[in-house]
Amino acid sequence: NRQDISKANNTSLLSAEVEHWKNASKLSDYILPLQEVIDDTHEAEAVRFLVSPYQQNGSLRQTSLKLPLELKIRYARQLVLAIQACHEAGYLHGDIKPDNVLCGSARAQLCDFGSSVPCKSSTEGGMVRWMTSNYVAPEIFEPYAGQRGVGWAADMWAYGVTVYELMHDMEAMPFDGRQKEKGLRIGPPFIDPALQTHMYWPTNTRHTIANPRTHRLCDAIIGCLARNPSDRLRPTDVLYALSRTY
């Protein structure tokens, strides 16, 4: 993971990423360890290298195609355990998505804490600097969100989108404006703030996942995609649902 130090607003942001990543990884085997930080100042522009273990299967987006159901559910469980560890460490990860989940033969590990911020509750506290648009929770766009910050629930929204993609082999998202007429998938609010008053919110995704063993997982996805962050499932709720998937 190569980062141009000179392109950051200041080096404190990079230092915060390293601190958050190291602290959170101490609490879970499902967070990729950050082994070393190397600052190379010999190039024209100073470059920081973040060194972590190699995961042979690449990101969840790369490896998820046609995975067996059992492994998909295992990865979903491991990812929510990683998110739970982040929150217990006092951080909002801020950029949960398939690209930031690296996969080994039987283990998925969360990485990239570049968007992480300190956070103390499920609904407010973290002043998010940037997030990946397709995974942004709706409260980010509400008035005064920039002053109030967002809470851990924003990670659970992104988790719901990520697991929805995982169950569909990365071929579908729960919010896609091109399929708006189906009433399930919609254009995300970052396209136009006015869409917030015309959004269709998911009520049932079971018909899109054929295997009946995944019904509780579907309920968990829906619970993570609750519009109100206070109504969104917590990691412990999702873990309970996953323990009853079979």
Task: Give catalytic residue positions.
Answer: 95
The SS3 of residue 203 is coil
At 201, phi and psi to the nearest 5?
-105, 140
For CA atoms 63, 159, 148, 88, give the dihedral sign. negative
Chain position carrying tokens 């969840």:
60
Q: Cα(230)–Cα(153) distance, rounded to whole angstroms?
A: 7
Contacts 24+ apart (CB under 8 A), 191-197: 193/141, 196/138, 196/141
Q: Which tokens belong to 80?
A: 């929510």
Burial class (CB in 10 A: 0-12, 13-18, 19+), 133: exposed
